[in-house]
Structure 1
C-alpha cells in the first residue's frame, strides 16, 4: 500500500486488530477506509521524535493529534487538534478563539484515554468521540501521505492527508499550528 521511511503498510481493513476499537468502528463504515494502511511498530517508539529517528519518517509527513479543552459559562468544550509533526498546535490563541473559551489546556491524560477509548500516545483523529470538535491545520490535508496514530501505541496509520479532511465533523483551519 504505502511506504514512508522504512515503514510499509498493509490494508487496515485486513488488520483491524492493529487499531483501537473506536478507530475500527469508524473504519468499518468510512467510505475512504480502503485507502488507509496500517503498520505494526514497537510501542516504545510511538512518539513522533522516535518515529522520525528510528523509522526515517520526515517530520512534515507525520501528524500529531492533541486533545484540548476549555470552559465557557460552565460548559466544557473539547477538541482534537491535528497538526503536522513539524509544527505545534496554537492552543493559547487560535484554538482558544475557535472554542470560544477564556483558557485552553490539554485534556488530562487519563480523561483523554477514557473518553476517546484510545491509548495515550496513539490518539488519532479517526474515531474521536462525537462530542469533540475535530480541527485540522490546513497544512495536514496537503501532505501526500501522512503518518498518524492508530488508537494504540503498537501501530501507525498511513493515508493521503486529504482524507483527514473527509472525516466526520472535520474542520480545516488556517494557521491552527505554528
Structure 2
C-alpha cells in the first residue's frame, strides 16, 4: 500500500522528521524537538456549514490564528464555517488525525490555502499525515501542490497574552 503523503512529497524538497505521537501537538512538539513556533505551520481542515460541506486545508503559522469566521468563510462562500471534527477529518482526509494533518497527500477535491505569511519563512515544519512524523520543507514545497493557493490575510496575529494577575 502506498503512502499518499510520501507520494505527494516525491518530487518536492523535504525531510521526514519522526516524533513521539504524544508530542505531535504544535506547542509540545516545538518544545520537545527544538523547533521555533515561527517555523511551525499548522494544517487545519475547515468545513463550510452548508449542505455541500465544502472542505479546505488552511496552512498558517503557529504564531497566528486562522481567520475562520471572515477570510475562510467568505472564500468558501458559506454563511458559516468551522474546524472539521476528528471523525470528519479522518474520513475526508484519507485517514489523517488531528495533530498530524498535512497539506501533502490530501484527496484532490480538498484545496490547500496557504497564508502568505508562511511563504516568508525559510523552512516550515508541518504535520506528516500521522501523529508520529512531521515534514520539514521550504514553503515553496507546500505552494507547489497542484491544489495550493497562497492567500493574503488568511490568518491574523495572535492576541497578546493577557497579563498575569
Equivalences for 1:34-45 in 2 at 5 Å? 35-45=13-23
Query: How far 1:127 moved relative to its partner?
Result: 1.1
TM-score (norm 2): 0.88
Q: Does 1:79 align with 2:61?
A: no
Query: How far 1:26 moved relative to its partner?
Result: 1.8
Query: How far 1:27 moved relative to its partner?
Result: 2.6
Runs (4+) off by over 2 Å: none
Aligned to 1:172: 150
Equivalences for 1:103-118 in 2 at 5 Å? 103-116=80-93, 117-118=95-96
Q: Using the alignment, how far apart are the partners of 1:114 and 1:155 within structure 2?
A: 20
Aligned to 1:125: 103
Query: How far 1:88 moved relative to its partner?
Result: 1.0
Deviates more, 1:98-107 or 1:52-61: 52-61
Match for residue 148 of structure 1 among 126, 129, 147:
126
**What is the Cα-based RMSD across aligned positions, in Å?**
1.7
Which 5+ residue runs of structure 1 have no aligned equivalent? 1-19
Q: Using the alignment, how far apart are the partners of 1:58 and 1:26 within structure 2?
A: 25
Are the structure 2 counterparts of residues 146 and 108 from structure 1 closer, same or farther at C-alpha, using a change threshold of 3 Å? same
Query: How far 1:25 moved relative to its partner?
Result: 2.9
* Aligned length, in residue pairs: 155
